[in-house]
Structure 1
Amino acid sequence: MRIAILEDDPHQLSHLMQTLEHALIAGDSIVTIIAFSNGTAMQQALRSETFDLLILDWNAPGLTGIDLLQWLRKWQTDQVPVLMLSALTSEQDVVRALDLGADDYIVKPFRPMELRARVQRLMARRRPVAKSYRERFGRCEFDHLSQSVRIHPAPGDDETAERPTLTDREFRLALTLFQHMGDIVSRSHLLESAGYSDQEVSSRTLDSHIYRLRGKLGLEAEKGLSLRAVYGRGYRLESSQQDCT
């Protein structure tokens, strides 16, 4: 799980990050919070990076939060949830942010419990909480307890379910791709989901994992799932079958 924050006030940023750290209890998931003090710097990052949630300060320096929101909704296809955070309190300002594509709006100074509740609601919309320790995407069923994947046979097929052997990192990497079906997931996002830090990986580490996952899970177009590299961004898992999402 990755969250990006645009906030230029160090005290506000510290308070915001502490509040989020208490709110984001994600089980075995790895939570990464990346802060930006300048909207232009965040825009540059969004050209190649992907996140599960953005929190934008309206009056940030460089490119303002509201301008960044407008750019994001016009040029980015991934509808990442956006929470606007602003000292502006008028109804017109709130409506403008929502009309431009914000998913929620909180007035500064924020109330920690309210912020946590709103963030959790947005994250649940992005990635619905599983009702059990299993998540199923079409024929692929992920078991969080055993860190395993079961590939069910196609309807009408008499074959038994397949149980490919995945490492812990491969399981988490595959789960992230399936949870973001149809969206580009950046290389950094994928590596963090697999438990890597930037200091311990080479440029080929992710590509090696992807190569193995294609073979183990049958992520090929003729089988209904296609895992493609997106130049300068990362990877996108796409389905040609309606029951795979």
Structure 2
Amino acid sequence: MRIAILEDDPNQLSHLVRTLEQLLTIGETSVTCITFSNGSTLQQALRRESFDLLVLDWNVPGMAGVELLQWLRKWQTDKVPVLMLSSRAAEQDVVQALNLGADDYIVKPFRPLELRARVQRLMARRVPVAPSDGERFGRWEFERVSQSVLIHPAPGDDAPPQRHALTDREFKLALTLFQHMGDVVSRAHLLESAGYSTEELPSRTLDSHIYRLRSKLGLEAESGLSLRTVYGRGYRLESTHQPQADS
């Protein structure tokens, strides 16, 4: 799970990162927090990077958290969950943030267990915090125990399902792409999800993984899903099914 945090108070930031990493690391689910103390710096990062969750303070240098939220919902198509975490407790402030697209709002000082519960609720729709043994996305079924993907036949096709074994890193990459269906996933996000450290970030290695996933899982237009390169950012897995015209 990749979380961007906008907070300019070092003590608050340290406490928040420690809380999220300790409380949300469960089983194979690990948490990576990328921190920002300036709203404008985070805005620039969001033009090229992707995250599973944004945690935004309101009063920060550069660009206020609520201004960043407004920009994000207006100009970015990826609907990343946003949690506002602010000392501003007035009802009109909470309502303003929610109306601008925040998914939740917590008033400081936060309570750790409440924070975990709210983050888990937000993340349930995208990245399961306590993953089950498998997940299914249309015809593609991921099985964690065997690290394989079972591709079921299209409706009306009597062919048996096809099983494709993946390496550990291929499995994690593919699952991340499917969990973010329709959204751009940045290269750094994908590499981190596959277990590469931020010091490694081997660009050509990622391209090789993507090439093999396209082939193994049939991620081409005729299959109904297409894995596309988004120049300067990363990759997007999207549906290629078009509504049928009336006859």
Shorter-chain TM-score tier: over 0.9
- What are the within-5 Å matches in structure 2 for residues 79-158 of structure 1? 79-128=79-128, 132-158=132-158
Counterpart for residue 174 of structure 1: 174
Q: Residue 159 in 1 paired to residue 176 in 2?
A: no
1:130 & 1:31 partners in 2: Cα distance? 12
For the 8 Å contact 1:30–1:195, the answer to whether it is kept is: no
Q: Secondary structure at the match of 1:135?
A: strand
2:217 & 2:101 partners in 1: Cα distance? 36
For the 8 Å contact 2:133–2:145, the answer to whether it is kept is: yes
Deviations 1:183-211 (A, max 9, x none): 11000000111111132243211111111
Counterpart for residue 217 of structure 1: 217
Code of the residue aligned with 1:45 in structure 2: it is A
Greater CA deviation, 217-226 or 24-33? 24-33
Greater CA deviation, 174-183 or 149-158? 149-158
2:178 & 2:115 partners in 1: Cα distance? 28
2:95 & 2:176 partners in 1: Cα distance? 33
Q: TM-score, normalised by structure 2?
A: 0.93
The verdict on how the C-alpha distance between 1:204 and 1:136 changes in structure 2, with shifts beyond 3 A counting, is same
Q: Secondary structure at the match of 1:63?
A: coil
Q: Residue 235 in 1 paired to residue 235 in 2?
A: yes
2:117 & 2:212 partners in 1: Cα distance? 39
CA shift, 1:108, in A, is 1.2
- What are the within-5 Å matches in structure 2 for residues 189-204 of structure 1? 189-204=189-204
Deviations 1:81-139 (A, max 9, x none): 11111111111111111111111111111122211111111111333568841111111
CA shift, 1:21, in A, is 1.6
Query: Can you give the 5+ residue segments of structure 1 that lack an aligned partner in the other structure?
Result: none
Counterpart for residue 12 of structure 1: 12
For the 8 Å contact 1:29–1:193, the answer to whether it is kept is: no
Greater CA deviation, 35-44 or 160-169? 160-169
Code of the residue aligned with 1:47 in structure 2: it is R
Q: Secondary structure at the match of 1:125?
A: coil
1:185 & 1:132 partners in 2: Cα distance? 22
The verdict on how the C-alpha distance between 1:202 and 1:125 changes in structure 2, with shifts beyond 3 A counting, is closer
The share of aligned pairs that are identical, in percent, is 76
2:125 & 2:184 partners in 1: Cα distance? 18
The verdict on how the C-alpha distance between 1:211 and 1:83 changes in structure 2, with shifts beyond 3 A counting, is same
Greater CA deviation, 163-172 or 5-14? 163-172
Deviations 1:161-204 (A, max 9, x none): 11123111101100111111111100000011111113224321
Deviations 1:196-235 (A, max 9, x none): 1132243211111111111111100011110000011100
Query: Can you give the 5+ residue segments of structure 2 that lack an aligned partner in the other structure?
Result: 243-247
1:26 & 1:238 partners in 2: Cα distance? 29
Q: Residue 34 in 1 paired to residue 34 in 2?
A: yes
For the 8 Å contact 1:23–1:120, the answer to whether it is kept is: no
For the 8 Å contact 1:30–1:193, the answer to whether it is kept is: no
The verdict on how the C-alpha distance between 1:181 and 1:130 changes in structure 2, with shifts beyond 3 A counting, is farther
Greater CA deviation, 57-66 or 122-131? 122-131
Q: TM-score, normalised by structure 1?
A: 0.94
Code of the residue aligned with 2:37 in structure 1: it is S
Greater CA deviation, 149-158 or 96-105? 149-158
